[in-house]
Amino acid sequence: MTVFDQTLYNAEMYEDDSVVEFYRSESWSTPELLSLCRSKQAIESGCVLDIGIGAGRTTRVLHGMAKGYVGIDISAKMVAAARKRFPGVDIRQLNLREIHLLSERTFSFVFAPYAVIDVLPHDQRQTLLSAVRNLLSPTGAFVFSTHNLNYRHAHAVPALDPRHPWQTMRSWLNHFASRKHCHTGEGYAILNDCSHSWRALHHYTDRRAQVRDLERAGFAVEAILGLDGRTIGPGDDDTEDWALHFLAR
């Protein structure tokens, strides 16, 4: 019997040309820009590790600001697209669950936008957080986003859209193939969501559990930002935010 590997299951979809095309933009979201401003000193003072860079959306800005830059991505096609766009930049094909192999570098800033760390199953997440802490200098900053378990559509299923029958059928077939791997645990769930026609299995967590896990890995949480850039405090409503941005040190 082969053991299901959620990370590799998710990685497959990033080898599609259409998905590579989808990530060609260079725009930044509001919480990403705010995190960038708040982490300016950490970024400029040393080397940046950019995790899951896709086609290099964030490379130009971070490479330009930092003293050093390493971008990693598991997908050969994404890496090829990013290298073509930024020749000479240190862009490596690497699975994020193997970032401990980068221990030859000390980073002042680690960036993992677009909920990339959520491709990992729950039992590998804490190891990843500890690995990031180990790669960072003592004053280094970690900014990442993650799927929000409190989001009111977190448990959605594909829409039945009679105007797009093929798309609807494809989404449901993908959803049926994925949902047997969905499960929930204390403060988290592995859910199939609409990313890339309902192919992905993502880790969703709530704020309380994420803060606890960051603290366990040796981080202090500086801020949690919603999709509109507001700072989310204890008791605030986050049910409209599909993702939350964490700033930690």
Ligand X SMILES: C[S@@+](CC[C@H](N)C(=O)[O-])C[C@H]1O[C@@H](n2cnc3c(N)ncnc32)[C@H](O)[C@@H]1O
Give the interface with ligand X as residue ranges (CB under 6 A): 7, 10-11, 14, 23, 52-54, 57, 72-75, 78, 95-96, 113-114, 116, 119
Cβ 43 to ligand X, closest distance in Å?
16
Distance, in Å, from the CA atom of 53 to the CA atom of 91, rounded to the nearest integer, reads 9
Burial status of residue 234 (CB atoms within 10 A of its CB: 0-12, 13-18, 19 or more) = exposed
Q: Which is nearer to ligand X, 112 or 235 (CB)?
A: 112
Cβ 16 to ligand X, closest distance in Å?
10
Cβ 194 to ligand X, closest distance in Å?
13
Q: Which long-range contacts (CB under 8 A, 24 or more apart) does 164-168 make?
A: 167/197
Q: How far is CA 168 from the centre of its chain?
A: 26
Cβ 197 to ligand X, closest distance in Å?
14
Distance, in Å, from the CA atom of 64 to the CA atom of 66, rounded to the nearest integer, reads 6
- Annotate 131-158 with DSSP letters as a single string: HHHHHEEEEEEEEEEEEETT-TTTT---
Q: Which is nearer to ligand X, 116 or 248 (CB)?
A: 116
Cβ 57 to ligand X, closest distance in Å?
4
Q: Which is nearer to ligand X, 93 or 139 (CB)?
A: 93
Residue 58 gets the label, from left (phi > 0), alpha (psi -120 to 50) or beta, of: alpha
74 contacts 96 by C-beta, under 8 angstroms: yes
For the record, the structure tokens of 124 come out as: 């590998």
Q: Which is nearer to ligand X, 24 or 208 (CB)?
A: 24
Q: Which is nearer to ligand X, 73 or 241 (CB)?
A: 73
